[in-house]
Amino acid sequence: MTRHLLALGLLLPLLSGCIPTLPEYMAGQQWKGRDAKEAIDFFGPPGRMQPSPDRSEVQMQWYRDTSYVKKEVVGGSSEMQGGVMVHTNYWDDVTHTSGCTLSMTVDKARQIKDFSIRGRCTGVALAPQTFSSAASQQVVTGLANGSSYAFKVVLTNAYGDSAASGASSPVLVGLPAQPVLQKAVAGAGKATVSWWPASGNGSAITGYVVTPYVGGVAQAPRSFGTANSVVVTGLTPGVTYTFTITAVNAVGSGPPSAATNAVTVT
């Protein structure tokens, strides 16, 4: 039995004409030289096919609606709290309309010469990797550090290919994972912040950065070692704080945790 792993690169927003991100560049490199039929089988029939003026090439395009919803600040207010002016932000879900176009240039031999992406392409399928093994665990190489990927699996036997599995949970390659199970306990001019240790994703955690928030506004971040429980000092009595935690390794900083519970410093 053969397994095909399909990597889905979760790309950051791109503007037409911008320098490609590393996952986009790597996707292009993986598709170049492959048969156009492979791309059609993978992405489905193109939404548009346009021959070049001399008929030596054909451009195939696929369009995807990648509209998304993101929590954003939609308002705010300010009030005095413990002798300190505290600004509170109000958050809500905001819908952003966007789209993504994948383009491939195919020559007369039906080989792919070029691959490009324009727009906000979340969940762009990269070229599949094939493993001639029935093992249920495989190592996918050639991914870009600092980029998020999800994966689908297709099984192959003598009768053909199965349908693709559902997508796995996204993983951030190279950078640390997001700390979880975070909490805060108030003290006198300080707070103890703790969390579950983050995965280093192949590179050991070298430290954590804890950022205090007052009324949703970030204060000066504090850097710590590898312990997963720290004391944040220098806080203002009577003021309510929340905290986020970011893990750091040799590749860089991972995504921040969700905010801790709110605590009022004594």
pLDDT at 9: 43
Could you give the 3-state DSSP secondary structure of residue 97?
coil
- According to CATH, the topology of domain 180-264 is Immunoglobulin-like (2.60.40)
pLDDT at 133: 81
pLDDT at 123: 62
Going by pLDDT thresholds of 50, 70 and 90, the confidence category of residue 16 is very low
Distance CA 18, CA 126 (A): 20
Torsion sign, CA atoms 138, 141, 146, 150? negative
Q: Whole-prediction pTM value? A: 0.51
pLDDT over 90 (residue 25): no
pLDDT at 223: 96
Closest residue by Cα to residue 42 from 50, 30, 54: 30
pLDDT over 50 (residue 103): yes
pLDDT in tens, 124-154: 666 677 888 888 888 887 777 777 778 888 8
Q: What percent of the chain has pLDDT over 70?
A: 87
**Mean pLDDT confidence for 51-57:** 93
Going by pLDDT thresholds of 50, 70 and 90, the confidence category of residue 8 is very low
Element (H, E) at 104: strand 99-107
Torsion sign, CA atoms 102, 107, 110, 114? negative
Q: What percent of the chain has pLDDT over 90?
A: 39
pLDDT at 5: 56
Following CA atoms 108, 114, 120, 124 in sequence, which dihedral angle do they give, to the nearest 10 degrees?
80
> Domain residue spans in the chain?
2-65+101-172, 180-264
